[in-house]
Structure 1
Amino acid sequence: MSGEPIGRVVIVGGGTAGWMAAAAAARFLDDGQRTITLVESDAIGTVGVGEATIPPIRGFNARLGLDEAEFLRATGGTPKLGIEFVGWTDGTDRYFHPFGTHGRDIEGLNFHQLWLKLRDREGIGPIDDYAMSAVAARAGRFAPPSPDPRSPLAGLEYAYHFDAGLYAALLRRHAEAQGARRIEGRIVGVERDARGHVAAVRLEGDRRVAGDLFLDCSGFRSLLLGEAMGVPFDDWSHWLPCDRAIAVPTERRDPLLPMTRATAHDAGWQWRIPLRHRTGNGHVYASAFVGQDEAERVLMAHCDAPPTGPARHLSFTAGRRQRLWAGNVVALGLSGGFLEPLESTSIHLIQMGISKLFGLFPDLRFSDVERDEYNRLMGDQYASIRDFIILHYAATRRDDTPFWRYVRTMALPETLRRKLALFREKGRIFRYDDELFAIPSWVAVMLGQGIMPDGYDPVVDALDEGRLLTALHQIRAGNAAMAQQMPALS
């Protein structure tokens, strides 16, 4: 039998994580018997997680009922077709991690296996040329995907760049319109009950907010999961040594490009994110290898427009809490963990945490089996994304600075070592469970950074080579022609 239903959901903290949770809870959990309350303080700033996203954000917005055009206007948003990486292999290279697919699979074989066999033939070209998203992004063009499987646009996917603060404000309006309640105030204490669960949070002014389920969106502090519940933090900085970031806005620079750019520097990397009203820039770096003043100098020297605001400095440690759900507390966003924004996964992890929680939503018994399954699923998500980010560093051939020599030679997680070994043998990649990054993403980064397999899947040899060559030439030409027909961003 089910236990008594949860009646009071309390979200601690606003920002992107808090208002994503509030908007989703108001849409899907408020049945007229359940209250959704968000507690935040205007006196406490938010980090503003993420200005670049990945395609699943479109589904999240759609499920909330957000109109895409309204969303883009409200957040200064632009479309994003992928990420261009500059200087990650030898310091002079460029490659593209596209959203969507490379070419199309033939006879059940992954497209990259066909390309591996034919890559040295005349007219084949780099694998980027077979990804519609990459070709369009570099041309500064954008059009939505086509439902016609014969169209080059069928393989295109997109996400968004947007102002995270404006997104949180939009979600707040949406959540409050659907019944979520906001309480202003700074939390000064946490009450726990006989089970060790959080019973209430105490605010300044001798106020108290009680709840049944608490969502910790308090940022790096992890007020409930880390401090109150005492869940330890797993430090992954030996694999991901970048622990600082500097962010600065600059004037909009035309033409707008539908892509994020990640440029490698001596001790980290720089992001460039084009919005309608400005450009977001930042330098993620390892403080063990470069000082703050020099890191800021590097950032400002590589911005392509004048700044429109002061630089903000952030400190973090890569890793996650050992459990993201403890007792009656579930951590979302920075309170549960942080992985540097190299592949724009911060907002996705919030979204995934909300989705998994709703799929395993408890009653007042707070069953161990539901909690354990949530922690397993979210732990796998963090670990698989961690490995994908580590890949960008481990695959480098750079040895020009101490930072790049460290990441090039560091010991890797066993899960990533296995993936690399399989790919180096015959280009094989397997996707496990609901792992975020699909085969085309792993292919893009591995090939983009010069990891070329010794061979290819021998099953490819059963296909007629002439027909394969014709098919690849048609795909490449079709992408190039389609890109020229697509409208430019304005």
Structure 2
Amino acid sequence: MSAPIETVVIVGSDTTLWLAAAVLRNALRPAGLAVEAVELPATLRPADVHATLPPLEALHAQLRIDEKALLRSTGGAFSLGQNFTDTSGAATAFLHAYGSCGAPIEDREFFAYWLKARRLGLGVPLDDFSLTASAARHGRLMIPDDETDRYGRADYGYHLPALAYARSLKMLAIRDGVRAHETSALGIALDPDRGTIKAVELEGGRRIEGQLFIDATADARLIGRALGVRVESWRDHFPVDRVLAATGPRFASIPIYAEVRASEGGWTALHPTQAATHVVHAYASASASDEEAAVAAARAAGMPIADIAIRSPEPGRRESAWAGNCVAIGAAACTFDPVHGVDLHAAQLGLVHLLSFFPAGTDHAAERAEYNRIMRSGLCRLRDFQSAHYALNRYGDAPFWTTAREAVLPAELAQDIATFRARGLVAPREDESFSPDSWRALFVGHGTVPESYIPAVDTVPADMVKEHFRRMLGFVRDQVMRQPTHDQYLDGIGGASRG
């Protein structure tokens, strides 16, 4: 029997480091596991923001994070989704809301009934049947209760200023017993016989040994540089190779969604928080210099911008997220295109699956193999959701968007699009992060209209369907107008004052 895992050493910086430290310590403390966090210099900048997906709220609950206190300390805000618009007017705007659309009719999924009604002349958009989409448009927070739960899902994410969020996680991890070590220099000692990591060496002659190492660095110093695990490039799927982050003035009334504005040379996202508007501008270096991009970002955002930081993302997945005794989390495992803000969600996926397969001892080949299989599948599904946004776009004939439509489609995504176009079905996939409602919002929003629908819905009389539709729309309207506005809720928890 192999020796037990007694110490986990996590190396990295910023949010990924401290989220990993907090999650592992919280879950494994009863087993007596020691967690050592080696903190490298920060890579985050004041403009950086985490536009999170709904599952993070559940992880916060497991960590016993008080949501109201978190929003007060970070100046963060809620998000019910992302509104995609086109500054050229070539494409119709659509909202990818974090929740379901409609309720089942006669035990069959609502979407098929909506498709049939649309073919017969229904002019009501799909997301009018969504609690979260309707709440977002009215600037209201959707607080679920028993009634809304019976109707459908009403989820939310956050816009969290990244530096403040990382500080909050660090305090949480240290409070829970994580031992923190700061260093500006890092050496990695390998076991010459096994080729695994034996220890990390810090400035001042400090040395930290462990049985399992977590690579939470931005540049994969452990799994990439030390262990030599290569990257599978996703460059062919994405047109963006430069990303500008900046801050702008806060909104007088804080929207409860992000807005992603397509323009000729790329897209610009606005993520409102209590103290500022965080701006992300994604573009291709072949068509715009950084100086031109800054001008374009301010123009698309409609506001002056400051705190500009520019990065060059290289989308791709580490061929193995777990190699030897080293597990890569976050950017060390996978680098994504910036659309949809999936980075933090991918780190959360890695941590959740690591806990599922956490090894009982140092001989963990079986756990490692299954972890790598699941992570490969899950990360590729996130990539496919991002890729679909570019492949299906109708944002005109500018070179950026034309190149995006002509990009290589992953095989599973090509099949997903074909299946949806044929019957309006979202094929179930293993290790999926986005719900069928999210896929439908993306497909329909980009004008991908199914040619048919499942014939079973024809057995329900049209008058009955119309009555169901009327009740749903009335229920959504009534529930939304009962909710507090985003501003009222933030003011009520002691959020930042707005002048």
> What range describes the TM-score normalised by the shorter chain of this pair?
over 0.9
User: Which SS does the other structure have where 1:357 is aligned?
Assistant: helix
**Aligned mate of 1:472, from 457, 460, 469:** 469
**Aligned mate of 2:326, from 324, 329, 336:** 329
Q: What is aligned with 2:371?
A: 374
Tell me by how many angstroms 1:149 deviates: 4.9
Partner Cα distance (2:149, 2:405) in 1: 42
Tell me which amino acid in the other structure corresponds to 1:250. Answer: G
Q: What is aligned with 2:425?
A: 428
User: Which SS does the other structure have where 2:198 is aligned?
Assistant: strand
Which deviates the most, 246-255 or 82-91?
82-91
Partner Cα distance (2:342, 2:155) in 1: 16
Tell me by how many angstroms 1:241 deviates: 2.3
Tell me by how many angstroms 1:320 deviates: 1.1
CA contact 2:313–2:336 (8 Å) conserved in 1: no
Q: What is aligned with 1:396?
A: 393
Q: What is aligned with 1:260?
A: 258
Tell me by how many angstroms 1:179 deviates: 0.6
TM-score between both structures, scaled by the size of structure 1:
0.95
Q: What is aligned with 2:278?
A: 280
**Aligned mate of 1:411, from 408, 411, 436:** 408
Tell me which amino acid in the other structure corresponds to 1:140. Answer: G
CA contact 2:11–2:40 (8 Å) conserved in 1: no
Partner Cα distance (1:143, 1:458) in 2: 34
CA contact 1:328–1:366 (8 Å) conserved in 2: no
Measured against aligned partners, the alpha-carbon deviations of 1:77-102 in whole angstroms (never above 9, x if no partner) come to 21111110112996342001111100
CA contact 1:90–1:397 (8 Å) conserved in 2: no
Partner Cα distance (1:378, 1:223) in 2: 20
CA contact 1:50–1:344 (8 Å) conserved in 2: no
Tell me which amino acid in the other structure corresponds to 2:63. Answer: L
Measured against aligned partners, the alpha-carbon deviations of 1:224-244 in whole angstroms (never above 9, x if no partner) come to 011001011111111012121
2:61 maps to 1:51: no
User: Which SS does the other structure have where 1:410 is aligned?
Assistant: coil
Partner Cα distance (1:487, 1:251) in 2: 24
CA contact 2:262–2:395 (8 Å) conserved in 1: no
Q: What is aligned with 2:33?
A: 34
Partner Cα distance (2:118, 2:60) in 1: 39
The structure-2 alpha-carbon separation of the partners of 1:231 and 1:32, relative to structure 1 and needing over 3 Å to count, comes to same
User: Which SS does the other structure have where 2:237 is aligned?
Assistant: coil
Partner Cα distance (2:396, 2:83) in 1: 21
2:464 maps to 1:463: no
CA contact 1:89–1:396 (8 Å) conserved in 2: no
**Aligned mate of 1:186, from 162, 184, 192:** 184
1:96-245 equivalent positions in 2, closer than 5 A:
96-121=95-120, 124-149=123-148, 154-193=152-191, 194-219=193-218, 221-245=219-243
User: Which SS does the other structure have where 2:244 is aligned?
Assistant: strand
CA contact 1:244–1:286 (8 Å) conserved in 2: yes
Alignment size in residue pairs: 485
Tell me by how many angstroms 1:304 deviates: 3.6
Tell me which amino acid in the other structure corresponds to 2:483. Answer: M
The structure-2 alpha-carbon separation of the partners of 1:167 and 1:470, relative to structure 1 and needing over 3 Å to count, comes to same
The structure-2 alpha-carbon separation of the partners of 1:151 and 1:28, relative to structure 1 and needing over 3 Å to count, comes to closer
Which deviates the most, 29-38 or 241-250?
29-38
Tell me which amino acid in the other structure corresponds to 1:392. Answer: H
Q: What is aligned with 1:60?
A: 59
CA contact 2:263–2:300 (8 Å) conserved in 1: no
Tell me by how many angstroms 1:300 deviates: 1.5
CA RMSD of superposed structures (Å):
1.9
Which deviates the most, 227-236 or 408-417?
408-417
Identity within the alignment, %: 33
Tell me by how many angstroms 1:289 deviates: 2.9
2:338 maps to 1:341: yes
Partner Cα distance (2:87, 2:146) in 1: 35
Tell me by how many angstroms 1:9 deviates: 0.7
Measured against aligned partners, the alpha-carbon deviations of 1:201-237 in whole angstroms (never above 9, x if no partner) come to 1122222121111111111x11001100101111111
User: Which SS does the other structure have where 1:30 is aligned?
Assistant: helix
Tell me by how many angstroms 1:403 deviates: 1.4
Partner Cα distance (1:459, 1:417) in 2: 26
Tell me by how many angstroms 1:386 deviates: 0.7
Partner Cα distance (2:136, 2:197) in 1: 48
2:366 maps to 1:354: no
Tell me which amino acid in the other structure corresponds to 1:162. Answer: L
Tell me by how many angstroms 1:73 deviates: 1.0
TM-score between both structures, scaled by the size of structure 2:
0.93
Partner Cα distance (1:295, 1:453) in 2: 37
Q: What is aligned with 1:485?
A: 482
User: Which SS does the other structure have where 1:186 is aligned?
Assistant: coil
Partner Cα distance (1:398, 1:21) in 2: 39
Runs of 4+ in structure 1 deviating by more than 4 angstroms, as ranges, are 47-50, 120-124, 149-152
Tell me which amino acid in the other structure corresponds to 2:186. Answer: V
Partner Cα distance (1:9, 1:145) in 2: 38
Tell me which amino acid in the other structure corresponds to 2:13. Answer: G
CA contact 1:86–1:261 (8 Å) conserved in 2: yes
Unaligned runs of 5+ in 2: 488-499
